[in-house]
Amino acid sequence: MIPSTSENSKYSQYEWDQWLSTSPGQYVLAWESNQFSNSVEDAFGFEALQIGLPQLSCLANNRITHRWQMLLPTQPFHDEQTDPNVHVICQGSIYDLPFANESFDLIALPHVLEFMESPHEALREIHRILRPEGRIVISGFNPFSLWGLRQYGGNLIDRPFLPKEGQFISHHRIKDWLNLLNYSIDRGRFGCYGIPIKNSSRLHGQTLLDKVGDRWWPFMGSVFILSAVKRIPGTKMVGLIKPSRKILPTVLKPLARSNSNDEKQ
């Protein structure tokens, strides 16, 4: 059963906006901005779509001509937060997207699945509108990190570090869902290793923990990003076709010798 529009999103937009305005929120937005730019810059096609999180321009570094953004029902439109090259076209439920099958070549999902009542159903609907060989890029919070542990402890005393409505999904679980839908994971990255302190002035740019963590314990990053390509079932890339062996010269050589013998006779 697909949830109705009124129940498709778990989070309070006000709480999410409040968190994004904090030092950890700005720290995450800065890191994800770089990662989305790297993940989408080589994606080609005709149509690209970002769903949710208008504070982050995921498609800014992409060269697809038509780049669009869809807001979720709880997200208001803000002119000052929108990339002028990415046009907001609608606001609606992620479980019933107002687009035809296989409409987009690139879809960006920044922190969307983890705030959905049925994230797997949401991913299936997104799969419907993505063209074969199209790319999907997903970001989310890593529950197996310092921030994840801080969130778990904070929920026990009703003082969460991250927005409390999120059901943070591990990247392994999302990879399993993508594999079931016949996607090929082509890249992934963890980041944001800083200590989870809400009003910390140290969470700006790349911290010392980011440099050390990225090298020695990469899977402990507080945020992850995954990029995957939608494959067509039943097809297989075989590479370049080798040219067939040329037999014409082999046939002509004996003929030439036989003709010369005839002339001698």
Question: Domain holding 193: CATH number?
Answer: 3.40.50.150
Burial of 122-160, coded b for 16+ CB within 10 Å and e otherwise, reads bbebbbebbbeebbbbbbbbbbebbbbebbeeeeeeeeb
| pLDDT recorded at residue 209 | 73
Name which of 148-162, 176-190, 251-265 the model is least confident about. 251-265
| pLDDT recorded at residue 232 | 84
φ/ψ of 241, rounded to 5, equals: -85, 125
pLDDT range class, residue 258, cuts 50, 70, 90: very low
How many domains is the chain built from? 1
More confident residue, 97 or 7: 97
Name which of 18-22, 45-49, 63-67, 78-82 the model is least confident about. 78-82
Average pLDDT, the chain: 82
| 3-state helix, strand and coil shares in percent for the chain, rounded to the nearest 5 | 35, 20, 45
Residue 250 has pLDDT above 80, yes or no: no
Residue 204 has pLDDT above 80, yes or no: no
Q: Mean pLDDT: which of 38-47, 73-82, 189-198, 243-252 is highest?
A: 38-47
Residue 216 has pLDDT above 80, yes or no: no
| pLDDT recorded at residue 247 | 42
Residue 100 has pLDDT above 90, yes or no: yes
| pLDDT recorded at residue 12 | 63
Half-sphere exposure of 129 (CA within 13 A, CB side): 21
pTM for the model: 0.81
**Average pLDDT, stretch 235-246?**
56
| pLDDT recorded at residue 14 | 74
Residue 75 has pLDDT above 90, yes or no: no
> Could you tell me the residue range of the domain that residue 58 belongs to?
5-264
- Tokens (6 digits) for 122: 């949401």
